[in-house]
Amino acid sequence: MDKQQIRETIARRVARELHDGDVVHLGEGLPKMVSCYIDADAGVMLLSESGVVGVDPVSVGARLSGGCRDGQGAAILLSPNAATFDSAMSHALMRGGHLDVCVLGAFEVDSKGNMANWIVPRTLVQGMGAAMDPLHGSKRVIVAMQHTAEGKHKIVSKCSLPLTGVGHVNLIVTEMCVMEVRPEGLVVTELNPRFSKEQVVAATGARLWWSPELIPMT
C-alpha cells in the first residue's frame, strides 16, 4: 500500500465510528481526512476549535477562500443549523465533556491507552497546543495513525515520549487492523485482509490479544 492508500484506508474505517448526533473533533493531518467519508446526511456535527459546531464535512481540507476559518486558518463552510461562538467557548466545550468523539493522530500509543502526540525530544515546538483539550474531555478517543513510522513501532507496551494524556485512548485504527484498549490490554477486533496476524505482531511493540469474534477490516 502506498501512503495515500494507507491514509484513505484508515480515514474510511474511522468514519464508520461516527454516528447520528455525535459532536466530533477531528485533529490535524490524517484525522481531518475522516471528513471525506462522512455522509452529508449522517447527522455528525463537527466541532472546530475556532468556534464552530456544524462544520460542513465536505469543506474540511478543501481549497476554499473567504468565509469562516478553522483553528489553523483554513477556510470552512457551515452546515445548516450550525452555531458559531468564540474559541474560548469552543475549548470549554471540549474540556467540559461535551464532545462525543475526538479523532487524533499520535507518535506513540501504549497498551494502557496512554498517548504521546505533541513533541519529539530534541525538537523545537511552541507547546502542547490544543490536543490535550479534546483528548481529556471527549467521551471516546480514537487514534488514527499509520501502524509504524519508518519501520519503528508506534504502538508500544509503554510510551517513551512525553505524554499528552494518560489512559484516554479507546480505539486505535491503523492500515493493518482495528484494536480496542481494554483492561487486559490491546485487543485486535478487525484485521485488514492484506496483512497476516504475524505481520501485525511484528509491527507492534506491545502484546496483542485477538478477539474470538475477529472480522475483516473494511
Distance in angstroms (rounded) separating the CA atoms of residues 189 and 180: 7
Domain boundaries, the chain: 3-216
User: H helices within 21-86, ranges in order?
Assistant: 30-33
> CATH number of 3-216: 3.20.20.70, 3.40.50.2300, 3.40.50.720, 3.40.1080.10?
3.40.1080.10
Q: What is the tens place of the pLDDT at every residue in 134-177?
A: 999 999 999 999 999 999 999 999 999 999 999 999 999 999 99
What sign for the dihedral angle of Cα 91, 97, 101, 106? Answer: positive
pTM of the predicted structure, to 2 decimals? 0.92
Structural contact between residues 130 and 104, judged by C-beta atoms closer than 8 angstroms: no
Q: What is the pLDDT of residue 131?
A: 73
For residue 174, which of 26, 23, 30, 29 has the smallest C-alpha distance? 30
DSSP annotation string for 117-129:
-S--TTS--S--T
Q: What is the pLDDT of residue 69?
A: 78
Active-site amino acid positions: 49
